[in-house]
C-alpha cells in the first residue's frame, strides 16, 4: 500500500481510494497533453512529515516509442534537495507506487510547493525533461485519515531564458453570458529580489482598469523567500462585453520585507490595442476568440516607474 496503516490491511491497496479515479481521468486527455500524473499527499501534523505517494503516469510524450520515465520531487523553494523515483523501462504509462517523506514544519508547510519533474532517461543516462507538475500545498486540506489522490496534467517548461526583470505566467478567460473576466495567476520566475531573500515575501496585485482608471484590485497570497513563486490563484471581475474595448488588466509583482513598504518588481498590462501590443495584445485577443476557455501564457515583466 502507499501508506501502511492508513489504507486498510497491509499488503493490499484500499480500492475506496481509487473509486473516483475511474472517472474520465483515464480517458479524457486534452489536445496536446504532455502526460498526466497521479499522486497522493498527506501531512502528519505531529511528526511534521509530508507523505507523498507517487502512483502512476499515463500518456507521457517521450522522444521515441521507448520512453523510460523517472520522477524527481522537490519541495520548493528548496531547489537543492530532491527525492527521486525508480526509472521505469520502456513505457509511456508507468506504474510507480512509491512513497516519499519530506520533513517540513507545520509553520511553513502552506508556503511550500511540491514540484514533480518527469524525465525520460536515454541510453547514455541523460535526463530529458518531459514536463512538470506544480502543487501548492496551501490549497489543499492535507490532514485527515487518508491520503488525497490527485491527478494533474504535465506542463512544459518554458524554453525561453528568463527576461531581465523576470516573467509571470497567468491564464485569462472571458464568459460573456456571465459577464465575467477570470484571471488565474499561476507562477513567476527569475524575479530580481532585493536584499536578503529569507524574509522577503512576494505577491501579485491584479487590477482591472477602464479608460486607464482603476476599477477593482485583488491580491494573491504572499510567498516567502522565492524568486520563482507559485500561486495558482483565481480571481474574477465583472465586466460587460461593451466595456472590453476600453478595459485592461494590470498585473504587478511586488515584494515586501519586514516592516517595509512593498516594492514593485515589475508588471504586465494586457488589453486591447489601445493599451497593449505584441504578446500582451495577442493574449487578450486569444481570450476573446475562445470564450469560456482558459488561455495560458508567459509574459516578460516590464519595470514599473516608482511613484
Asked if the structure places residue 14 within a domain, the reply is no
303 phi and psi angles, rounded to 5 deg: -65, 145
**In the numeric block, which cell numbers belong to residue 78?**
528548496
225 shares a domain with 107: no
Distance CA 252, CA 248 (A): 13
Q: Check: CB of residue 87 under 8 Å from CB of residue 130.
A: no
- Scored b (16 or more CB within 10 A) or e, 3-22 reads beebbeeeeeebeebeeeee
Q: Which of 14-18, 66-70, 82-86, 146-150 has the lowest mean pLDDT?
A: 14-18
Residues 6+ apart with CB under 8 A from 47: none
128 phi and psi angles, rounded to 5 deg: -115, 120
Region of residue 8 (left: phi > 0; alpha: psi -120 to 50; beta: else): left
* pLDDT at site 125: 83
* pLDDT at site 157: 77
Provide the whole-model pTM. 0.69
Band of pLDDT at residue 7, cut at 50, 70 and 90: very low
Taking only the tens place, the pLDDT of each residue in 161-171 is 778 899 999 99
* pLDDT at site 260: 65
55 shares a domain with 175: no
Instruction: Count structural domains, the chain.
Output: 2
**Residue 259 structural domain:** 167-300
Taking only the tens place, the pLDDT of each residue in 189-230 is 989 887 666 678 899 999 999 998 999 999 999 988 788 898
Residues 6+ apart with CB under 8 A from 53: 2, 3, 39, 40, 41, 97, 98, 99, 100, 147, 149
Distance CA 99, CA 2 (A): 6
**Among the three residues 154, 176, 194, which one is the final residue of a domain in this structure?**
154
* pLDDT at site 302: 92
Mean pLDDT of 142-156: 75
Domain with residue 273: its CATH number is: 2.60.40.150
Q: Which helix (H) or strand (E) holds 237?
A: strand 230-238
* pLDDT at site 147: 67
Asked if the structure places residue 161 within a domain, the reply is no
127 shares a domain with 54: yes
Asked if the structure places residue 17 within a domain, the reply is no
Distance CA 187, CA 285 (A): 22
- Name the residue with higher pLDDT: 59 or 260: 59
Mean pLDDT of the chain: 84
74 shares a domain with 178: no
Mean pLDDT of 19-47: 76
Asked if the structure places residue 2 within a domain, the reply is no
Amino acid at each position: 500500500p502507499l501508506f501502511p496503516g492508513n489504507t486498510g490491511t497491509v499488503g493490499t491497496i484500499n480500492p475506496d481510494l481509487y473509486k473516483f479515479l475511474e472517472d474520465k481521468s483515464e480517458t479524457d486527455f486534452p489536445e496536446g497533453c504532455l502526460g498526466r500524473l497521479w499522486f497522493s499527499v498527506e501531512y502528519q501534523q505531529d511528526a511534521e512529515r509530508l507523505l507523498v505517494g507517487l502512483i502512476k503516469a499515463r500518456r507521457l510524450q517521450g522522444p521515441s516509442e521507448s520512453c523510460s520515465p523517472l520522477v524527481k520531487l522537490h519541495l520548493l523553494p528548496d531547489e537543492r534537495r530532491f527525492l527521486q523515483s525508480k526509472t521505469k523501462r520502456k513505457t509511456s504509462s508507468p506504474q510507480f507506487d512509491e512513497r516519499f517523506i519530506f520533513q517540513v514544519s507545520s509553520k511553513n508547510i502552506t508556503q511550500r510547493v511540491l514540484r514533480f519533474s518527469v524525465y525520460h532517461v536515454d541510453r547514455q543516462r541523460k535526463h530529458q525533461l518531459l514536463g512538470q507538475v506544480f502543487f501548492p500545498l496551501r490549497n489543499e486540506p492535507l490532514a485527515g485519515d487518508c491520503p488525497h489522490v490527485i491527478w494533474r496534467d504535465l506542463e512544459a517548461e518554458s524554453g525561453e531564458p528568463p527576461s531581465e526583470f523576470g516573467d509571470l505566467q497567468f491564464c485569462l478567460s472571458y464568459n460573456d453570458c456571465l459577464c465575467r473576466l477570470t484571471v488565474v495567476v499561476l507562477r513567476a520566475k527569475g524575479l530580481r529580489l532585493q536584499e536578503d531573500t529569507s524574509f522577503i515575501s512576494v505577491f501579485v496585485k491584479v487590477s482591472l482598469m477602464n479608460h486607464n482608471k482603476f476599477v477593482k484590485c485583488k491580491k494573491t497570497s504572499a510567498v516567502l523567500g522565492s524568486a520563482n513563486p507559485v500561486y495558482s490563484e483565481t480571481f474574477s471581475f465583472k465586466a460587460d462585453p461593451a466595456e472590453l474595448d476600453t478595459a485592461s488588466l494590470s498585473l504587478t509583482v511586488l515584494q515586501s520585507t519586514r516592516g517595509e513598504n512593498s516594492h514593485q518588481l515589475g508588471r504586465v498590462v494586457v488589453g486591447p490595442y489601445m493599451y497593449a501590443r505584441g504578446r500582451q495584445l495577442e493574449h487578450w485577443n486569444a481570450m476573446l476568440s475562445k470564450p469560456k476557455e482558459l488561455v495560458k501564457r508567459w509574459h516578460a515583466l516590464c519595470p514599473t516607474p516608482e511613484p
